[in-house]
Amino acid sequence: MTRSVLPGFKLTLGYTLAYLAVIVLIPLLTLPLKAASVPWEQLKATITDPRVVASYQLSVGASFVAACVNAFFGLIVAWVLVRYSFPGRRIIDSLVDLPFALPTAVAGITLTTLCAPNGWIGQLLEPYGIRIAFTRVGVTIALIFIGLPFVVRTLQPVIEDLDAEIEEAATSLGATRLKVLTRVILPYLYPAWLTGFALSFARAVGEYGSVVFISGNMPMRTEISPLLIITKLEQFDYAGATAIAVVMLTISFTMLLVINALQGWTTRRVAG
Amino acid sequence: MDDAAGGRLMVGTRPVRRLTEPAVVRWLLTGLALGFLGLFLLLPLAVVFAEALRNGLGAYLDSVREPDAIAALKLTLLAAAFAVPANLVFGVAAGWAIAKFRFPGRTLLTTLIDLPFAVSPVISGMVFVLLFGRQGLLGPWVAEHDMRIVFAVPGIVLATVFVSFPFVAREVIPVMEAAGTQEEEAARVLGASGFQTFFRVTLPNIKWGVLYGAILCNARAMGEFGAVSVVSGKIRGETNTLPLHVEILYNEYMFQAAFAVASLLTLLAVVTLIVKTILERRMHGGH
């Protein structure tokens, strides 16, 4: 550390580390500690149980689909909010953060009510035999909702910072608008776009509140991994809950590393 | 503005195509964007209030004023009253250490602060059960001292502090970094004490950032469901927060009451968004 005339470094850093350790690190460390105390055979039996495997597949699969939907619409929403003007744009822009601000339980019961066979959306689809509530589609819908802001919010600043001269150069060299968009602008947005996708995916994998109501929680079909953890905890099967949680935490931390790498890429791209 | 943009687009005297998509494409994209947001954001908002008021204003007020709802509201406010100040003090301390000084492990520390965002809410609650529960690591110690942490109010507070941990820090660090250290250094050289420097120089620079973080922290603290659900035990009138109360009412098929309570949380979310928007304009205006 270079010498500084500013005081309080030891005090604030000490407090930061102590508080971080007490509130976050020590509690999180109980998970690997607990896992280490469980015999390997038992851990393996839990995480390879077909019901648990099905829950991982659902949590990861539905999160992936939801993140793809959010990547597609998020790009359009971010582009429209930055580049076009229309009445109510600022209000809509603020509203994009609603899924961050709305408690997940409220989102859960609301989406379920909307999509239930007698709900506003459900009753439109019911005559065609399409069911959303209590199916995997419902799980995906809830995950789209909670992941919605990520792609929009990571793309917006990058689109705002786009250098108009690049577009002008490409246009004056004779590129069509479509070519400018796909060959010039889109490649520039890739890192941020991917970051938004990864953030949306990572959030969805661990999501619980908005999903449990709409999923119907049928074992092997619409049961997500976080719900299985709760079920095991309620049966006081702490070893089983720990085994599932360790796998989920591994997925989350891998995503965190990927996101950090992507953000580094974004920063370098924007700075360069 | 238009003139300047138009001027840049002139090649010789012939105007080049404008740098935007054809009108049809613009309409199509705007329609898609608004349709998507309408379906996923506006429609759910409308449903909350439609369902809450389904049996009229009287029924709505009755559900909101019911004793269990009031008890849940009090516990939610209590949890936030611990979580927000605690994480606010931490956020400012972390901001000072990380933004004003350079030291090894600084990037790692920033990543560790974001850790609670990467953890599933259910796991966030579960670690406290593993730590303080009857079979937990500190379980015997907790029992010996005749305390209840898990399935009681302290557990709910701890889980709430955990999930809302990063919000203030992650807003304050970039704001403090952008402000630099020159003003503080000048104050020190001119003889101000450490506390004077902080309260007279630093705090005025970061106050909107701190408030912004606190608002988001509060929204998460009051709205947390998964983590609190694991540690609560859901004893009516005792360990129920508002989001948990919504779940119980909903699962008992008392839909109107569930949505009435949910509408309070929705109002909180809307107010949060409004304050957040105002603060964002303040902060950008300040630069």
Per-residue pLDDT of chain B (287 residues; tens, 9 = 90+): 344 443 444 444 444 445 788 889 999 999 999 999 999 999 999 999 999 999 999 999 999 999 999 999 999 999 999 999 999 999 999 999 999 999 999 989 999 999 999 999 999 999 999 999 888 888 888 888 888 899 999 999 999 999 999 999 999 999 999 988 999 999 999 999 989 999 999 999 999 999 999 999 999 999 999 999 999 987 777 889 999 999 999 999 999 999 999 999 999 999 999 999 999 988 876 44
For the whole model, what pTM was predicted?
0.91
DSSP conformation class of A127: G
Q: Which of residues 95-154 of B touch A (CB under 8 A)?
A: 96-98, 100-103, 109, 111-116, 118-123, 126-131, 133, 135-137
Lowest mean pLDDT among A80-94, A176-190, B162-176: A176-190
Check CB contact under 8 Å for B126 and A144.
no
Q: What is the pLDDT of residues A228-266, one digit of tens each?
A: 999 999 998 999 999 999 999 999 889 888 888 888 887
B213 shares contact with chain A (CB less than 8 Å): no
Across chain A, what does the average pLDDT equal?
A: 92
A1/A4 Cα distance (integer angstroms):
9
Q: How far is A111 from chain B (nearest CA, A)?
A: 6
Four-residue CA torsion sign, A216, A219, A225, A230: positive
The closest of B243, B226, B43 to A115, measured between CA atoms, is B43
CB contact under 8 A, B111 and A260: yes
Distance CA B232, CA B150 (A): 7
Q: Of A15, A24, A104, which is closest to B226 when you measure between CB atoms?
A: A104
Question: How buried is residue A50: exposed, middle or buried, by Cβ count under 10 Å (0-12/13-18/19+)?
Answer: exposed
Residue A270: which pLDDT band, with cuts at 50, 70 and 90?
low
Is the CB of residue B54 less than 8 Å away from at least one CB of chain A? no
From chain A, the residues in CB contact with B45 under 8 A are 98
Distance between CA atoms of residues B46 and A62, nearest Å:
26
Pairwise CB contact (< 8 Å): A102 & B274: no
Confidence label for A271 from pLDDT (cuts 50, 70 and 90): low
Main-chain dihedrals φ then ψ at residue A131, nearest 5 degrees: -115, 135
**Contact call for B102 and A2, based on CB within 8 A:** yes
Closest Cβ opposite residue B36 in set A73, A105, A177: A73
Which chain A residues in 137-176 lie under 8 Å from chain B, judged by CB atoms? 144-145, 148, 164, 167-168, 171-172
- Return the residue in B24, B30, B47, B122 with the most chain A beta carbons within 10 A, the one to mutate for interface testing: B122
CA A130 to chain centre: 26
Q: Do B96 and A8 touch (CB under 8 A)?
A: yes
* Chain A CB within 8 Å of residue B272 CB: yes
* Helix (H/G/I), strand (E/B), else coil: A123: helix
The shortest CB-CB distance from A31 to any of B21, B37, B130 is to B130
Three-class SS state of B11? strand
Q: How many Å apart are CA A104 and CA B39, to the nearest integer?
A: 17
Q: CA end-to-end span of chain B, whole Å?
A: 22
The end-to-end CA distance of chain A, in Å, is: 28
Chain B residues inside the 8 Å CB shell of A226: 120-123, 226
Residues of A with Cβ-Cβ distance to B16 under 8 angstroms: 168, 171-172
CA nearest to A152 within chain B: B33
Q: Quick one: how far is CA A269 from the chain centroid?
A: 23
| C-beta of residue B136 within 8 angstroms of C-beta of residue B211 | no
Looking at chain A from residue 55 to 74, which residues have their Cβ under 8 Å from any Cβ of chain B?
73
The verdict on A97 touching B (C-beta cutoff 8 Å) is yes
B185·A6 Cβ contact <8 A: yes
Helix (H) or strand (E) holding B14: strand B14-15
- pLDDT tens-digit profile of B237-246? 788 999 999 9
Task: Please list every residue in chain B whose beta carbon sits closer than 8 Å to the beta carbon of residue A207.
Answer: 120-121
Mutate to test the interface with B, among A6, A152, A229 (most CBs of B within 10 A): A6
- Residue B39: closest CA among chain A residues belongs to which residue? A121
> Which residues of chain B make contact with A267, given a CB cutoff of 8 A?
none
CA–chain centroid gap for B38, Å, is 23
Top mean pLDDT of A58-72, A126-140, B137-151 is at A58-72
What pLDDT, on the 0 to 100 scale, is given for residue A241? 95
**Torsion angle of the four alpha carbons A116, A118, A119, A122, in this order, in degrees rounded to the nearest 10:** 60
Residue B224: closest C-alpha in chain A: A103
Q: Identify the DSSP state of B17.
A: P
Q: What's the alpha-carbon Rg for chain B, to the nearest Å?
A: 25
Residue B43 and residue A121: Cβ atoms within 8 Å? yes
Residue B285: the pLDDT is: 63
DSSP 8-class letter at A88: T
Cβ neighbours of B230 in A, within 8 Å: 230, 233
Amino acid identity for residue A206 in this structure: G
Task: Determine phi and psi for B236, rounding to 5 degrees.
Answer: -55, 135
| Number of A–B residue contacts, CB under 8 Å | 283
